Structure 1
Amino acid sequence: MAEHLDDHDLTILHPPFGLVLRVGDLTLRPLADADLAEYAALIRRPIFEDPDSPAVFPWYRADPETRVRNALAFQWRLRSEIEPDGWTLPFGVSAHGRLIGCQDMSASRFGERRVVSSGSWLTLDAHGKGYGKLMRQAMLVLAFDHLGALRAESLAAVGNGRSVAVSRGCGYVDNGTKVSTLPGPVHEEQRFLVTPESFRRPEVPLRIEGVTAELRAMLGAP
């Protein structure tokens, strides 16, 4: 019978599992199978103050059980698709040991383009505490300082004041608009970009662990 794999073994087999970002009260790390029960419970909870807002994610519009089933499949698929030509790192965000949201970072042909994009959400009861800005800042430090990104991009539905405030608080500038291509109601989106020079860094201590040569090779980091 095969021996049981511990967490250290899994970080060797799948280097993203070794990533840990700690900033202020928050800890960010890629979701592992042991986290998925808590993750499933989390995405059954309210995220949006106005469920009819254009800012509501298409996946969130499904009924809770369908939402959970699709979200778990999404997490497993992201792991299998990581390669230098394209990847997404889905970080679970915890405050004081409790999962409160997610922060994703994605790239296409990162080694050549050196550009990342991001998406994030918090449960409704975690809004208004500065967590959205802190988790984005942690992701940007990883991207710029540890992976060599030269540019980070984001977008928000026009009128989504919270998301816009997070982007501006991190130093993003406007980068034009586009009409959303996502399923659901058609709406206009504001695009943003930030560079290492314009990035506004967190004012609280930040520690990043797990950026190994194996991880960098997996992501195509220069």
Structure 2
Amino acid sequence: MDAWPLRKLVLRTPRLELRPDDDEGLFELVDVALAGVHDPAEMPFTVPWTDWLPDDHGVGMMQFFWGQRAKITREDWTINFIARFEGKAIGVQSISGHDFGALREVHTGSWLGQKFQGSGLGTEMRVGVLQFAFDHLDARVARSAAWLGNHASNRVSAKLGYVPDGTISVAPRGARLEQVRLRLNASDFVRPEWDVSVEGLAECVQLITN
């Protein structure tokens, strides 16, 4: 068995290639993030990591991804896929599972460099990991969240079959904001005309499920 079989995992959608994060890819991601992820007047993340970039130049980003990679177990795992478009890193699509063997549930999250937004790439990479979860890991439920006022994100979620599943209040910059929790049952997933291609799963599946 390979010492780190996740390095062989690859998801391919019509325009994107998604691979679990590695150090070379993380350096690319830092550059993408420094070029801009969102309007500085807003904070789309529950942890305001983009506020720290001008001061630490990405050190915190690297440490975060290293930490998540190091903590992967069957009981609690997160895979941060680096999404590449035309060979270049453009953002991250994450998928995580807690007690996945029993619950068969995943959580997803993502971010995309600002200059790559608005072209459907964010939706495509989310669909890719949803198909990976439902069709290849036998997940039954996928969960996500979005700000109450993020109408674009919530419209995309609705088109994919998500339904609201309550709210939660957070304060990433010290002011109260409300997030909508979202739930997608495998049977309700509105699929595109294409299927994700998955390579290398057999080598690493024992790391994340049983």
Q: TM-score, normalised by structure 2?
A: 0.92
2:206 aligns with 217
CA distance 1:81–1:183, change in 2 (3 Å): farther
Q: Percent identity?
A: 34
How far apart are the structure 2 equivalents of 1:208 and 1:202?
16
1:23 aligns with 13
The residue correspondences of 1:118-137 to structure 2 (distance < 5 A) are 118-137=108-127
5+ residue gaps, structure 2, are none
1:92 aligns with 82
Is the CA contact 2:9–2:204 (under 8 Å) kept in the aligned structure 1?
no
Q: Match for 1:216: what amino acid?
A: V
Number of residue pairs matched by the alignment: 209
5+ residue gaps, structure 1, are 1-10
Q: Check if 1:207 corresponds to 2:197.
A: yes
For 1:150-204, what per-residue CA distance to the aligned partner results, in whole angstroms no more than 9, with x for missing partners? 1000000111123212312221111111112656432100111111111112323
Residue 4 of structure 2: which of 10, 14, 20 is its match? Answer: 14
The residue correspondences of 1:54-203 to structure 2 (distance < 5 A) are 54-56=43-45, 57-66=47-56, 68-180=58-170, 182=172, 184-203=174-193
Which piece of structure 1 moves more, 196-205 or 80-89? 196-205
CA apart distance, 1:102: 0.5
For 1:46-68, what per-residue CA distance to the aligned partner results, in whole angstroms no more than 9, with x for missing partners? 111x3222424511111335251
Q: TM-score, normalised by structure 1?
A: 0.88
How far apart are the structure 2 equivalents of 1:210 and 1:78?
20
CA distance 1:116–1:184, change in 2 (3 Å): farther
For 1:89-120, what per-residue CA distance to the aligned partner results, in whole angstroms no more than 9, with x for missing partners? 00001111111110000111111111110110
Q: What RMSD, in angstroms, separates the aligned Cα atoms of the two structures?
A: 1.8
CA distance 1:184–1:148, change in 2 (3 Å): farther
Q: Match for 1:110: what amino acid?
A: F
How far apart are the structure 2 equivalents of 1:26 and 1:146?
18
Is the CA contact 2:44–2:147 (under 8 Å) kept in the aligned structure 1?
yes
How far apart are the structure 1 equivalents of 2:57 and 2:185?
34
